[in-house]
């Protein structure tokens, strides 16, 4: 595959077998602008959603099962941001943020994660439809950034030493978001017990230092292919394997027929209460801002 296809809207899996490390590196370009075009957010919220989207891409592409879904949700008590949701399924990303614009305007140009979220929680949900498994881990939304919160998610909730770096930059009016995650899995890949995972294994600090040396501008630079960036970081390792790239795009799964079937299950009197002044039931998709108008008569 020519490396021009490894610049934006793509994730690449990495393994460093001798160090028992695996990772993902991803960069989003047009996908971020696509997702943001459905919303009208101030720049601080655009940046935050871009960061959350690339984190979601990293976590989603870690899933082995093709039909696996990952949902990242940050929820707060009394924060400027009330709710942030992103999800990933089969290379498709979507997301939205609910926030208080007035309080955001008072928060200054560069609010900290705590200023935005107050006391908040980061929940990551893994859905494996084929295995019919759903797993959710929740950690307090702490530290300076979403990347720190994701690192503590893996340390606390999963007991996997991990390093996460995320960077977002607007270049000539277009957003670019890049990130990497590396993890130490000395007991092998997923599916095996990790009860013997040692947090102090000597291979891990080495990988974490190399991965952590990545610069924000390298993660966001659309002219730097991801395989070249990996080489910069890990060229002294004896073997670095990359997996097939996963191309990423915006995708929403809201579906008028599904919305109709959900509404149809409500009792008749509750459906009546949903009818608006125009005689229709309106249901909005917060991810893509689509609005569905349903004729109450079609549901009978």
In sequence order, what are the residues at sequence separation of 6 or more whose Cβ sits closer than 8 angstroms to the Cβ of residue 300? Answer: none
CB of residue 103 to Zn ion, shortest distance in Å = 27
Beta strands, E only, 81-226: 81-89, 92-99, 119-128, 133-140, 162-171, 174-184
CB of residue 101 to Zn ion, shortest distance in Å = 22
| Alpha-carbon distance values, 165 to 68, 204, 253, 255 (Å) | 23, 16, 29, 34
Tokens of 61: 């592409």
Name the percent of the chain in helix, strand, coil, to the closest 5.
35, 30, 35
Q: By CB under 5 A, what part of segment 144-163 binds Zn ion?
A: none
Interface size with Zn ion, residues (CB under 5 A): 6
CB of residue 289 to Zn ion, shortest distance in Å = 7
Q: By CB under 5 A, what part of segment 230-289 binds Zn ion?
A: 252, 254, 285, 287-288
CA-to-CA distance for 134 and 210, rounded, in angstroms? Answer: 33
Q: Which residue, 87 or 127, is less far from Zn ion as judged by CB?
A: 87
Q: Which residue, 160 or 252, is less far from Zn ion as judged by CB?
A: 252
Q: Which residue, 88 or 182, is less far from Zn ion as judged by CB?
A: 88
CB of residue 226 to Zn ion, shortest distance in Å = 29
Q: Which residues, listed in sequence order, are joined to residue 275 by a DSSP beta bridge? A: 281
Q: Which residues, listed in sequence order, are joined to residue 126 by a DSSP beta bridge? A: 70, 135
Q: By CB under 5 A, what part of segment 35-94 binds Zn ion?
A: none
Q: Which residue, 38 or 151, is less far from Zn ion as judged by CB?
A: 38
CB of residue 67 to Zn ion, shortest distance in Å = 19
Q: Which residue, 206 or 260, is less far from Zn ion as judged by CB?
A: 260
Q: List contacts with Zn ion (CB under 5 A).
A: 252, 254, 285, 287-288, 290
């Amino acid at each position: 595959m020519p490396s021009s296809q490894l610049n934006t809207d793509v994730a690449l899996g990495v393994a460093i077998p001798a160090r028992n490390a695996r990772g993902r590196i991803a960069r989003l370009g047009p996908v971020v602008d696509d997702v943001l075009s459905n919303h009208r957010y101030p720049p601080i919220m655009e940046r935050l959603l871009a960061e959350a989207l690339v984190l979601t891409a990293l976590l989603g592409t870690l899933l082995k099962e093709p039909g696996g879904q990952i949902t990242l949700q940050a929820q707060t008590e009394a924060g400027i941001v009330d709710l942030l949701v992103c999800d990933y399924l089969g290379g498709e990303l979507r997301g939205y943020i609910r926030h208080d614009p007035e309080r955001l305007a008072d928060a200054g140009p560069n609010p900290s994660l705590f200023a935005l979220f107050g006391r908040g929680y980061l929940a990551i949900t893994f859905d494996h439809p084929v295995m019919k498994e759903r797993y959710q881990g929740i950690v307090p939304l702490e530290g300076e950034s979403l990347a720190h919160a994701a690192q503590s998610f893996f340390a606390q909730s999963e007991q996997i030493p991990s390093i996460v770096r995320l960077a977002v930059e607007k270049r000539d009016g277009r957003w670019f978001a890049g990130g990497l995650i590396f993890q130490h899995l000395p007991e092998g890949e997923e599916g095996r017990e990790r009860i013997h995972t040692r947090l102090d294994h000597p291979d891990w600090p080495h990988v974490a230092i190399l991965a952590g040396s990545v610069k924000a501008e390298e993660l966001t630079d659309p002219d730097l292919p991801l395989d070249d960036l990996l080489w910069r970081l890990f060229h002294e390792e004896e073997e670095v394997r990359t997996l097939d790239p996963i191309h990423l795009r915006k995708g929403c799964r809201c579906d008028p027929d599904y919305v109709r079937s959900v509404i149809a299950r409500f009792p008749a009197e509750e459906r009546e209460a949903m009818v608006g002044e125009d005689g229709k039931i309106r249901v909005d998709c917060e991810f893509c801002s689509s609005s569905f108008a349903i004729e109450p008569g079609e549901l009978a």
